[in-house]
Structure 1
Amino acid sequence: MTKLADGLLFPEGPTVLPDGDVLVVELHRGTLTRVKPDGTKTIAAETGGGPNGSALGPDGRVYIANSGGLRRFEVGGFVFAGGIPDDYKGGSLQAVDLTDGSVETLYSDGLRGPNDLVVDAHGGIYFTDYGKSDGVTGDKGRLFYAKADGSSIEMIAAGMEGPNGIGLSPDGTRLYVSETYTARVWWWDVTAPGKIQGGKSLGGSGGGNFLYTVPDYTNFDSLGVDGHGNVCVASMVHAGISIISPKGDLVRFVDINVDNDPGITNITWGGPDMRTAYVTASSTGHLLKIENWPRPGLVLNHAT
């Protein structure tokens, strides 16, 4: 395991580009940042707000789940994100053109805190809206499906407790979502593009099917799906990656201890054999590179 880049301001949403560069969002800087294989960093786009997730889309643009910003605070010398910043104006789903860094806001009306996203084979975007909390009251989380051209958006599930990471099974027939503070993973059958069975429930699961939770105090963050269909969930507090089978069994927990960072937030894969994992250690501002991951990652839609 190596520190590919440091000095990042709460990195999240890693995306591997076809040329081998890695994109991360910097939530506390308000940027989409490109990291070269030698660790060199450049700003790819100024998104503003609080970019939280990124993914390549069908038109070559990079789509951003923008939370609208979160407060920066420190605990024990480690950086975290939460609450509502003074300059909060709402969340959004954005598209970035990497050729010139231009940013288009596709959707914003009614969005509170978009967190992460995944693009399906049809070019549609599933994304989580974590919501916002002022420390006294908080929103229930929601799931959305939106077209990449900005023409339509639909809420497909509601009533969740902090929905964070999101991913699709290799065949696209299952949608997975992790909840942060409950440390639970849920799944839905995808019956058609943007259609899931059991959505729009007012229950705490958003109508989903329970897959897995941890036996100890852990906060789940974002997730990636590997080439075998396992759901790999990044976690804070108990920092690492939980590899969960589609049947709900814990295949393995990969402990990631880098400078005692409690904020392991996301994972994706790249390399010729998809065995190189890129992991964001947000509380210390690192992008980690892990060679020879136990199983190859899933080649995401529109990533080549």
Structure 2
Amino acid sequence: MNFYPVPPTIQAEEFVRIPDELRCLNQASEWRGGFARQFQWIFLEGPVADLEGNLYVVDVPYGRVLKVDVNKEVSICAQWDGEPNGLAVDKDGNLLVADYKQGIFCLDPSTGSVTPRLTRRHLERFKGPNDLIVDSRGNIFFTDQGQTGMTDQTGKVYKICADGRLETLVENGVSPNGLVLSRDERFLYVAMTRANQVWRLPLHEDGTVTKAGVFFQSFGNAGPDGLALDEEGSLFICHPSLASVFVVDSDGVPKARIVSGSQGINLTNCCFGGPENKTLFITDSLEGIIQKVEWHCRGATKRPIVKQ
């Protein structure tokens, strides 16, 4: 009988901690996360690294996008009445925002102005957008998670086509969360948090999805969250309740487990950046810390140019 070898465990290290003076100490927020640990007046998500070496993250409860520059100086890029969760960059260098409270927004980081991109579908509000990505053709994929789960399997995955059309790819999602495309953009991976799974969706030229399957199955109090991909096709799966980022190859075979290098456990999302695009940045959400790991190869997604 053949067994796969036990994958190595890699410890992340602290990259930067959001300083206390930039935390919204004792400020009320409607947002409530489902966690038992003490709230630190911040919750980081949605990291994006640009070509200039800057890193952008969201602070969900307080409607903020924070910028960490090459000197690890942290500043507020924008703030509004929302609950931003996911970030991506469009062809014009603007940040696209999946806002749980408001919908899909466009943020000009050079001015801090935030404008609606898509806030309704058929005049109805979305359940609660969670994350989004942009493909090489300018199509935008985003998850609409809301409060869906095992007893309400109605989470959605949408595609905003470059021509403005909105297509529904998934209507029965179990808390759809992070998402990433394969290198050839033929497959879409979507984290289904409450099912503790990552789904693999074959994408067809006519906009349809067939034979969607479970690519990754896990366990724990909460399931997979943010996803990333490296140039070898390995998938990085953030798993907050297990304080881990699991790395599996394109066939789903485990390659490594990245664990927290601090006291935090909520490793919610990750992206590649750094001088050679080989640094994996990980949001340690509840602690308001960004951790990092130096990886052996580059991320699959090219670092975008963001307006400065």
The TM tier, using the shorter chain, reads 0.7 to 0.9
Q: Which has the larger radius of gyration?
A: 2
Aligned position for 1:252? 256
Distance 1:196 1:274, change over 3 A: farther
| Secondary structure of 2:194's aligned partner | coil
Aligned position for 2:172? 159
Deviations 1:3-31 (Å, cap 9, x if unpaired)? 31324621111011121010001101101
Contact 1:231/1:243 (8 A) holds in 2: yes
Contact 2:196/2:220 (8 A) holds in 1: no
Structure 2 segments unaligned to the other structure (5+ residues): 1-12, 24-41
Aligned position for 2:271? 268
Pairing partner for 1:223 from 208, 222, 227: 227
Aligned position for 1:71? none
Question: Could you tell which deviates more after superposition, 43-52 or 1-10?
Answer: 1-10
C-alpha distance in structure 2 between counterparts of 1:13 and 1:148, whole Å: 22
C-alpha distance in structure 2 between counterparts of 1:212 and 1:295, whole Å: 22
Identical columns (%): 27
RMSD of the alignment, in Å?
2.3
The TM-score normalised by the length of structure 2 is: 0.81
- 1:241 Cα deviation (Å)? 0.6
| Secondary structure of 1:221's aligned partner | coil
Contact 2:137/2:162 (8 A) holds in 1: no
- 1:297 Cα deviation (Å)? 1.4
Aligned position for 1:146? 160
Residue type of the partner of 1:283? L
Residue type of the partner of 2:112? G
Residue type of the partner of 2:199? W
Pairing partner for 2:109 from 95, 98, 107: 98
- 1:214 Cα deviation (Å)? 1.9
C-alpha distance in structure 2 between counterparts of 1:257 and 1:301, whole Å: 25
C-alpha distance in structure 1 between counterparts of 2:184 and 2:150, whole Å: 41
Segments of 4+ moved more than 4 angstroms: 135-139, 215-218, 301-304
Aligned position for 2:185? 172
Aligned position for 2:36? none
C-alpha distance in structure 1 between counterparts of 2:52 and 2:276, whole Å: 14
Alignment of 1:283 with 2:283, yes or no, is: no
- 1:58 Cα deviation (Å)? 1.1
Aligned position for 1:129? 144
Distance 1:4 1:187, change over 3 A: same
Aligned position for 2:15? 3
Question: Could you tell which deviates more after superposition, 218-227 or 116-125?
Answer: 218-227
C-alpha distance in structure 2 between counterparts of 1:236 and 1:2, whole Å: 17
- How many residues get paired? 269
Deviations 1:86-122 (Å, cap 9, x if unpaired)? xxxxx40011111211111111113111111110001
- 1:235 Cα deviation (Å)? 0.8
C-alpha distance in structure 2 between counterparts of 1:31 and 1:218, whole Å: 25
| Secondary structure of 2:203's aligned partner | strand
The TM-score normalised by the length of structure 1 is: 0.82
Structure 1 segments unaligned to the other structure (5+ residues): 69-90, 199-206
Deviations 1:214-254 (Å, cap 9, x if unpaired)? 25555211111111111101111111111122212122111
Pairing partner for 1:36 from 46, 69, 72: 69
| Secondary structure of 1:284's aligned partner | coil
- 1:49 Cα deviation (Å)? 1.3
C-alpha distance in structure 2 between counterparts of 1:100 and 1:148, whole Å: 25
